[in-house]
Amino acid sequence: MGLVKGKAAQPAGNTTSKPASCEELAAGLESADAAVRRHAAREIPACADAGAALVSRLKREEEIAVRAAILTALIRLDDPVATAGLADCLRSEDVALRNEAIEALKELASSGDRAGAVPPVLASLLADPDPDVRIFAVNVMESAPHPDVESWLIEAIERDSHVNVCATAVDLLCEVGTEAAIDPLVRLKARFASEPYIQFAAGLALKRIREI
Amino acid sequence: MKRGLVVKRILIVDDAATVRMYHRGILESAGYTVDEALNGIEALEKALETPFDLLLVDINMPRLDGFGFLKELRRQPMPQPPAIMVSTEAEARDEVAAYRAGASCYLLKPVRPSQLLAHARLMLGEANK
């Protein structure tokens, strides 16, 4: 796995022994004992290359408490590997894992000084060939205080051919849209003239923007 | 409401406010009473507290997704309302997973008003309405 030795805290219940090494923590992530996996997940962010090990385990982990510890560790890490790993989970067939990844990315996107790590990934996800991934990217944007969010949403409703990607983008434009979104919303209504939901949601967004 | 008629209660479970408003408008215009939940946890709390005649459930939601909500509800020793699952996901695996979780039918978003009402009436035993 290539984990570099570094400082790590002592395993639970073993306070007199020396701290676990990064190799031990990496092995702990693969332990049959959920408590050991959870402990390793909490401690391993201090090690180099922890992101890859955590993401690998997350995709296979079935214990809710261990998944929670891994997600918390990935959020603490907030490095490109962790962010890319979470983004990759959006393609999972496991609905719970997808939603956990969305929530973790939202937390990363919303957390002030860390918000810079997520936008490049979001921009890439919005160009993904899978419309579901593009929808999840829009879901993450709800929490991203990034100046480009509105322009990304406008780009989506102008260019994306998938009705549900546009619908999800319009849902968010209802909250964050400004006058810049008015003409694109009008064009969207014309493009999906026979789609009742788009008519409803775009109409609602236009009404809210004009009331601002 | 006409005397003697019982208004059917429907719970909409979706994290998207605009979707909830859209579905609520369609169902209320047909005379149904509607309540809302923003995720599976809130839906479970409401469904355990108040009997509903029909559930309209999204799949992807924070905290507890639609599959998790339905699976947990179906384990409860109580009258089980039918559930229409709505999703943006067109993959066959999602439809199969919905039925396995306890859905009665599966609709793809965006749902048309006539489509939603037809399925709601069918699920509520009002197909001739």
Contact B60 A102 (CB under 8 A): yes
- Decide if pLDDT at A107 tops 70: yes
**Residue among A89, A99, A188 with most chain B CBs within 10 A, to mutate:** A99
Q: Which residues of B touch A95 (CB under 8 A)?
A: 59-60, 65-68, 97
List alpha helices for A78-195, DSSP H. 80-89, 95-110, 119-125, 131-141, 149-159, 163-176, 182-191
Mean pLDDT, residues A104-123: 75
Mean pLDDT, residues A34-57: 93
Fill in the DSSP letter of residue A9: P
* pLDDT score of B16: 93
* pLDDT score of A9: 42
Six-digit token pair at A171? Answer: 């849902």
* pLDDT score of B90: 62
Q: What is the spatial distance between Cα A91 and Cα B91, in angstroms, rounded to a whole number?
A: 12
Contact B18 A174 (CB under 8 A): yes
Average pLDDT for chain B: 92
Q: Are B39 and B15 in contact (CB under 8 A)?
A: yes
Q: Are B90 and B108 in contact (CB under 8 A)?
A: yes
Q: What is the spatial distance between Cα A199 and Cα A204, in angstroms, rounded to a whole number?
A: 8
State residue B54 phi and psi, 5-degree precision: -155, 145
**Any idea which fold B9-123 has?**
Rossmann fold (3.40.50)
Quick: pLDDT tens for A183-204: 999 999 999 999 999 999 999 9
In percent, the amount of chain B with pLDDT more than 70 equals 93
Write down the ipTM of this complex: 0.90
- Decide if pLDDT at A42 tops 90: yes
Quick: pLDDT tens for B3-29: 556 899 999 999 999 999 999 999 999
Residue whose token pair is 């090494």: A21
Contact B67 A103 (CB under 8 A): no
Which of B18, B67, B97 comes nearest A204 by C-beta?
Answer: B18
Quick: pLDDT tens for A151-181: 999 999 999 999 999 999 999 999 999 999 9
Element housing B100 (H / E):
helix B92-101
Average pLDDT for chain A: 87
Q: Which residues of A touch B68 (CB under 8 A)?
A: 95-96
Put simply, whether the predicted model's pTM sits higher than 0.90 gets the answer: no
Residue B43 three-state SS: helix
Instruction: Find, among A99, A179, A177, A110, the residue nearest to A142 by Cα.
Output: A110
Report for A4-8, B63-67, B114-118: range of highest mean pLDDT: B114-118
The structural domains of chain B, with segments of one domain joined by +, span 9-123
Chain A touched by B61 (CB under 8 Å): yes
State residue B125 phi and psi, 5-degree precision: 70, 30
**Strand B54-58 and strand B83-87: pairing?**
parallel
- Decide if pLDDT at A8 tops 50: no
Counting one residue from chain A and one from chain B, the pairs whose CB atoms sit within 8 A come to 59
For CA atoms B82, B86, B91, B97, the dihedral sign is negative
* pLDDT score of A96: 85
Which of B60, B109, B113 comes nearest A98 by C-beta?
Answer: B60
Smallest CA–CA distance, residue A5 to chain B, in Å, is 36
Angstrom CA distances, B45 to A134, A205, B41, B64, stand at 31, 31, 6, 12
Q: How confident is the model at residue B38 (pLDDT cuts 50, 70, 90)?
A: very high
- Decide if pLDDT at A2 tops 90: no
Query: Which bin fits A22, alpha (ψ -120 to 50), beta or left (φ > 0)?
Result: alpha
- Decide if pLDDT at A10 tops 90: no
Sheet holding B33-37, edge to edge: B33-37, B9-13, B54-58, B83-87, B105-108
Six-digit token pair at A176? Answer: 């964050």
